[in-house]
A and B are shown apart, each in its own frame.
Chain A
Amino acid sequence: MHGVKRRQWSRELLKQKRIEDEKKIKQYRSLVDTVLNLKETQIYTKDSLKLSKEVLQWNPEFNTVWNFRRDIIENVKGQLDVTFWEDELNFTMAELKKFPKVYWIWNHRVWVLKNHIDSSLKIWQRELIIVNKLLDMDARNFHGWHYRRRIIKVIEDRTGKSNDHEELELTTQKINKNISNFSAWHQRVQLITRMNDTDEFENRKEFITNEIDYITNAMFTDAEDQSVWFYMEWFLEYEMVSKVLNHNEYTTILNKFQSNILIINEDDKEFSGKENPWCLKMLIIIEKLQTNLGIEIKDGKSKEWIAKLIEADPLRKNRYLYLLHEEK
């Protein structure tokens, strides 16, 4: 099971577990039976609400009971006040803290927000603060990021105002905290693309110049981490960059990245005696971009770098052999 340490059960221990389980199984099965009976006879009452919650506290992955619970709520909606809806949010939060990777809980929470008796915007804005806290606990939880995008979408639809600038700032904070947070780098790409498409940058050129500094810093901070390199590759190939910068500016940027990456690789070689595979991979990409720009490269090094990669990164040897073949 994901992340659960293996235990070796002695006969004695197993016997003891079975005795303890026997009682729990009886209790659980009887509760499940009761709730499924209520479901099948469509008994939608506050009592059914209470019992369905008990099952979910035993087992938050029981999606059928989440479904039943929503059907009950739909049916007794008129009797439910704001306290109920807030309790429901508290309940899902308590479960999410224990089981942050269970899809059903995240979905139920969105459903609760959408059906909350208080349909004001502040419920959704408060939710953003809450999801921040969840992402603080696990900054890579893709459920959390997906959920955040859903919340933002609702807020934007309702206010008619874009949150892109604030969201971009959030990705900066997350990356500054941990440069390997690829979820944040990913989100940065989504935001920049959208901001460019909808003309949200006040000054594209200024943004690009700052972003290049940001990437350069990141690369010098941790040259081992693939997050930065994937992002850098995207950025250098991104059409906004090559369109906004003129030919000379773009060429200069590529050359500068090239020389910086060569420096990092030399440092790595000096330090560990090994080439840095990500530097080599990026150098190949930059040389390709230079060629595409029509820059004449007298002394192309791509083949040499690919050959070095076969040595430096043998796990992916066959990819490099493929690239060598493509170079021909």
Chain B
Amino acid sequence: MPMEFLKEKHIEYIKSLDAKQGDLEYWLSEHLRLNGVYWGLTALCILDAKDTFKKEDIVNFVLSCWVKSTGGFSPFPRHDAHLLTTLSGIQILSIYNSLDALTEEQIEKCVEFIKKNQLEDGSFQGDRFGEVDTRFIYTALSSLSILGRLTPEIVDPAVDYILKCYNFDGGFGLSPGSESHAAQAFTCLGALAVVGKVNKLSKSQIDKIGWWLCERQLPEGGLNGRPSKLPDVCYSWWVLSSLAIINKLNWIDYKKLRHFILSSQDTKRGGISDRPDNEVDVFHTLFGITGLSLMGFENLNPIDPVYCMPCEVTSKFKKYPY
């Protein structure tokens, strides 16, 4: 087991991703491409290797994913826009300080696209087909926050809805009544934090959330997403960022989690997998690295637990209420 963080190999791995066009998997994952670029770019920023990607190429790719008919971003040219990919598009442009690559009209249409997907009860659907999930509240509020376009009309009902997703055990579900899941803790707490409303939760709720989150750590050090499930590196992000938002980051054992993340590295080709000896991917690579960054290991650049973007970028955001 390597106990060393393979920084250079991870950079090489992320760099190699776009050169995999000879693999069928590359084409079967087009629907994740814009998210993938965001995951890769954010990881590179945290690794202090932002210049590995060519800014101009990436910005052009993002622009090619903007969908004129709806105003949102799609994962790949010719695909449909969705809230999940709209956030990725905005995040990438923001990291490159290139939101001005969009015209005012494009930004207007994009804001409209996001707002139009909010439902009566404050929740958001991902697109016109009506899937509702707290993931989409997060992506909508985070996108609007980066664009500086949050308003009480959007925020207040969304906050009410999020509070309905809080469960008896201290976790959050994807909708009211759904089982607690650590990724949903991030989307709910992250959304509350984006709009400055974490204080809507009482002290006893916060303590309970912290309890449920720290119980995700298993003896081997990794974190799971729900009771009695296997550990997975991506929860290093969902759980840790949530703990960071409620100021209880140190309620888990850093050393053991670090060990688990480092054991999930591919020592030959770089990249990090969900758990030791599994296939690596850019999603787990990012969330392993951001987890390590939150814990202050490996001399990494700081990541913002609310936006999952480099602090250097988010420190310039206008904080709601404006």
Q: Which residues of B contact A40 (CB under 8 A)?
A: 78
Q: Which residues of B contact A316 (CB under 8 A)?
A: 214-215, 217, 251-253
Shortest A289–chain B CB gap in Å is 13
Is A44 in the interface zone, CB < 8 Å from B? no
Whether A149 pairs with B279 at a CB distance below 8 angstroms is: no
Is B74 in the interface zone, CB < 8 Å from A? yes
Shortest B296–chain A CB gap in Å is 15
Is A46 in the interface zone, CB < 8 Å from B? no
Q: Which residues of B contact A182 (CB under 8 A)?
A: 179, 226-228
Q: Which residues of B contact A24 (CB under 8 A)?
A: 24
Is B177 in the interface zone, CB < 8 Å from A? yes
Q: In B262-301, which residues have CB < 8 Å from any A CB?
A: 266, 268, 273-274, 277-281, 284
Of the stretches A139-147, A196-204, A262-270, the one at the interface is A139-147
Whether A142 pairs with B232 at a CB distance below 8 angstroms is: no
With both beta carbons as reference points, the residue of chain A lying nearest to B214 in the complex is identified as A316
Q: Which residues of A contact B106 (CB under 8 A)?
A: none
Interface size on B, residues (CB 8 A): 56
Q: In A173-193, which residues have CB < 8 Å from any B CB?
A: 180-183, 186-187, 189-190
Whether B273 pairs with A1 at a CB distance below 8 angstroms is: yes
Is A61 in the interface zone, CB < 8 Å from B? yes
Of the stretches A84-92, A224-232, A247-255, A299-307, the one at the interface is A224-232
Q: In B183-234, which residues have CB < 8 Å from any A CB?
A: 210-211, 214-215, 217, 219, 226-229, 232
Is A70 in the interface zone, CB < 8 Å from B? yes
Whether B228 pairs with A5 at a CB distance below 8 angstroms is: no
Is B256 in the interface zone, CB < 8 Å from A? yes
A3-B278 contact, Cβ under 8 Å, with A36-B78, A40-B78, A315-B256: yes
Whether B228 pairs with A146 at a CB distance below 8 angstroms is: no
Report how far A149 CA is from B229 CA in the complex, Å: 22
Report how far A227 CA is from B24 CA in the complex, Å: 41
Is A157 in the interface zone, CB < 8 Å from B? no
Q: In B146-168, which residues have CB < 8 Å from any A CB?
A: 167-168
Shortest A315–chain B CB gap in Å is 4
Whether B80 pairs with A67 at a CB distance below 8 angstroms is: yes
Is A22 in the interface zone, CB < 8 Å from B? yes
With both beta carbons as reference points, the residue of chain A lying nearest to B32 in the complex is identified as A61
Interface size on A, residues (CB 8 A): 55
Report how far A70 CA is from B217 CA in the complex, Å: 42
Report how far A63 CA is from B89 CA in the complex, Å: 17
With both beta carbons as reference points, the residue of chain A lying nearest to B24 in the complex is identified as A21
Is B175 in the interface zone, CB < 8 Å from A? yes
Is A99 in the interface zone, CB < 8 Å from B? no
Report how far A271 CA is from B22 CA in the complex, Å: 57
With both beta carbons as reference points, the residue of chain A lying nearest to B275 in the complex is identified as A3
Q: In A222-259, which residues have CB < 8 Å from any B CB?
A: 225-227, 230, 234
Report how far A4 CA is from B271 CA in the complex, Å: 14
Binary contact readout B83-103 vs A (1 if CB under 8 angstroms, 0 otherwise):
000000000000000000000
With both beta carbons as reference points, the residue of chain A lying nearest to B131 in the complex is identified as A107
With both beta carbons as reference points, the residue of chain B lying nearest to A33 in the complex is identified as B78
Whether B228 pairs with A180 at a CB distance below 8 angstroms is: yes
Is A207 in the interface zone, CB < 8 Å from B? no
Whether B129 pairs with A107 at a CB distance below 8 angstroms is: yes
Is A220 in the interface zone, CB < 8 Å from B? no
Shortest A178–chain B CB gap in Å is 9
Whether A5 pairs with B277 at a CB distance below 8 angstroms is: yes
Is B60 in the interface zone, CB < 8 Å from A? no
Whether A226 pairs with B227 at a CB distance below 8 angstroms is: yes
Report how far A322 CA is from B63 CA in the complex, Å: 48
Whether A28 pairs with B232 at a CB distance below 8 angstroms is: no
Is A17 in the interface zone, CB < 8 Å from B? yes
With both beta carbons as reference points, the residue of chain A lying nearest to B283 in the complex is identified as A1
Whether A145 pairs with B179 at a CB distance below 8 angstroms is: yes
Q: In B242-263, which residues have CB < 8 Å from any A CB?
A: 248, 250-253, 256
Is A214 in the interface zone, CB < 8 Å from B? no
Whether A58 pairs with B266 at a CB distance below 8 angstroms is: no
Whether A186 pairs with B167 at a CB distance below 8 angstroms is: yes
The 3 nearest A-B residue pairs measured at CB: A64-B79, A4-B279, A180-B228
8 cross-chain CB contacts under 8 A = A1-B274, A32-B27, A140-B229, A146-B174, A181-B228, A227-B227, A234-B169, A315-B217
Question: Measuring CB to CB, which residues of chain A are less than 8 angstroms from any residue of chain B?
Answer: 1-8, 17-18, 21-22, 24-25, 28-29, 32, 36, 40, 58-59, 61-64, 67, 70, 103, 107, 111, 140, 142, 145-146, 149, 180-183, 186-187, 189-190, 225-227, 230, 234, 314-319, 322
Question: Measuring CB to CB, which residues of chain B are less than 8 angstroms from any residue of chain A?
Answer: 22-24, 27-32, 74, 78-80, 82, 127, 129-131, 133, 167-169, 174-175, 177-181, 210-211, 214-215, 217, 219, 226-229, 232, 248, 250-253, 256, 266, 268, 273-274, 277-281, 284
